[in-house]
Structure 1
């Protein structure tokens, strides 16, 4: 029924053909409107980091905070130096062992054993005689001189 109410924009001999052309022209117009870009830039302006951050102000704030903390520490230290302080740092705690008596007994036993071994070592007589060793060495030298082709050099 649309074709009956259609009034062509341009005069043409065929109303149906003119309607088809007008519809195609209108669809092309809609596509162009959808893909059209604005001629005026409506985006937000660029924000530069150095303007937004204000680094100098941040450094100043940090230094002020550090100075405040230093002053607080200085005040605490001076208070402690003026007075005795709130904390008693003396440690009078004596280490307690559950088996201290057994350890002491074991230490005494080991000490006694060591003393007995030392006593036996000091009382022990040597098996070898130094005099016998010396005599045996002299015999060996005489034997070596008697069988040697060249006489032994005697150091002057």
Structure 2
């Protein structure tokens, strides 16, 4: 059962009624594969991440979320971009409709072991050549494309 539905550039999307700061990380292995999780709530492959808790920085949030969702400990090494497109809203089963607000960092593994959490059905490193064959939301594909471009400045949008 889907507990969330992403709408992107959808004229029939519900209007946002909240905005919550969140972050994610692109973490690669030594073969250039990207750490991704298959979300239990949507079935899409996504970057690990989540929303901030009171009392933490966004970087601390991303480090915590990556550990919770993948079992891996990371450190933040760079900023990929800020993603706040109001044409991307996420509708939750409880009636919340959240406008996207995501800061995506680049991270490096410093410990841990890959593990699946209750938020995902699978966690693994995915070869970029396989992205086109997986269900990945367009806004995550944008971040993956920005990473592949090896941008020298963060995306601000």
TM-score, normalization by structure 2: 0.12
- Return the structure number with greater strand share: 2
Task: Pick the structure with greater CA Rg.
Answer: 1
The structure whose RCO (Cα within 8 Å, separation 6+) is larger is 2
- Return the structure number with greater helix share: 1
